[in-house]
Structure 1
């Protein structure tokens, strides 16, 4: 899978091509006071979605996105065009999320502790609605190690291919596959009470489409 386009085409784009993200970044570096603001408008919702899914906390996600865009603004000249601007922005946001999670993490959580936490916090009512299932998946993700959580968010929720996720995370594709596999293995017993796997798959797919379109 190739890197996602910098910006999706809009209606009428064939007659009047939109300015690419890379061009906007170059304009910003050249001193255009409005160029970076346009980049923020295009991508803040998607960056917010990544941060929120990775951190599971709206306030922390907002702080991370703000800090990430400030960092991107200041370090724009470091962009070398080796990947799409969106991939570069994702890398800054995800790294900020990982740094925050690692600072808060005191020690690794054992698999049996993950299951115990899920059983303790699992609702006792029949969870059949898509929102309830989505909330449970988000809560379960928060129990995973930071690296596994970030890989699963990119691949399973944001729809990135393994190669693209590897570019964002700065690791080999095999590492992304391994982290996803370990994360899914840990999530399986935590979410075992969601017996209807087709519903879970449908929710995950719908949520991923929703975030990709954000």
Structure 2
């Protein structure tokens, strides 16, 4: 794929294939089908990883490992429809492993925050950048499990049941982690209200 061109595999002209069909084809050795899955989900997995790890390089490594591992273990996936949940679970678990392996104070990649709109007033752009930096710092104050649950719910829109499957907890525990994360973040972000 040169020059940024993306080739999409279609069932009928103009209709992209669903995930389950692509997973089935990839399991049968169709590399192009797997490439479509990677293109479809690498952005979501990267956003989750960079917010959990606060470091672009580590997040890139995690996402690369997740997709490489998924390709190698595709045969082990029992339900083709559960591929996305499998990716979220793998990404979350790898991020949690990286967090556990880090020294107590890791460097923060301050460039992970998205830049404000370019057409905004400079003072407004500076305020938004400061707010994003404060939110990222507040996220670092959460436990790894709270951060994972909060990000999966608030940023990625996953249900409590899905999050429970991803992090290996029941939905009640997930709700508790998210509630504690929300309370802590609200307290930390009071100056920005």
- Structure-2-length-normalised TM-score: 0.76
Is the deviation greater in 14-23 or in 170-179?
A: 14-23
Check conservation: 1:28, 1:36, Cα contact below 8 A: yes
Is the deviation greater in 160-169 or in 75-84?
A: 75-84
Q: Counterpart of 1:155?
A: 153
Q: Counterpart of 1:53?
A: 51
Q: Counterpart of 1:34?
A: 32
Check conservation: 1:127, 1:133, Cα contact below 8 A: no
Which residue, out of 166, 169, 184, partners 1:168? Answer: 166
Cα 1:19–1:83 shift into 2, 3 Å: closer
Is the deviation greater in 152-161 or in 131-140?
A: 131-140
Is the deviation greater in 180-189 or in 151-160?
A: 180-189
Distance in 2 (alpha carbons) for counterparts of 1:86 and 1:131: 31
Which residue, out of 119, 129, 132, partners 1:131? Answer: 129
Check conservation: 2:23, 2:80, Cα contact below 8 A: no
Equivalences for 1:53-202 in 2 at 5 Å? 53-81=51-79, 84-104=82-102, 106=104, 129-194=127-192, 196=193
Runs of 5+ unmatched residues, structure 1: 1-12, 108-124, 197-214
- Compute the displacement of 1:55 (Å): 0.9
Listed one character per residue, the Cα deviations across residues 42-87 of structure 1 (whole Å, up to 9, x for unaligned) are 1111111111111111111111101111111111112122853211
SS in 2 for 1:22: helix
Cα 1:28–1:15 shift into 2, 3 Å: closer
Distance in 2 (alpha carbons) for counterparts of 1:14 and 1:38: 16
Cα 1:95–1:86 shift into 2, 3 Å: same
SS in 1 for 2:191: coil
Runs of 5+ unmatched residues, structure 2: 1-10, 106-122
Distance in 2 (alpha carbons) for counterparts of 1:141 and 1:162: 19
Listed one character per residue, the Cα deviations across residues 94-129 of structure 1 (whole Å, up to 9, x for unaligned) are 11001111122659xxxxxxxxxxxxxxxxx99973
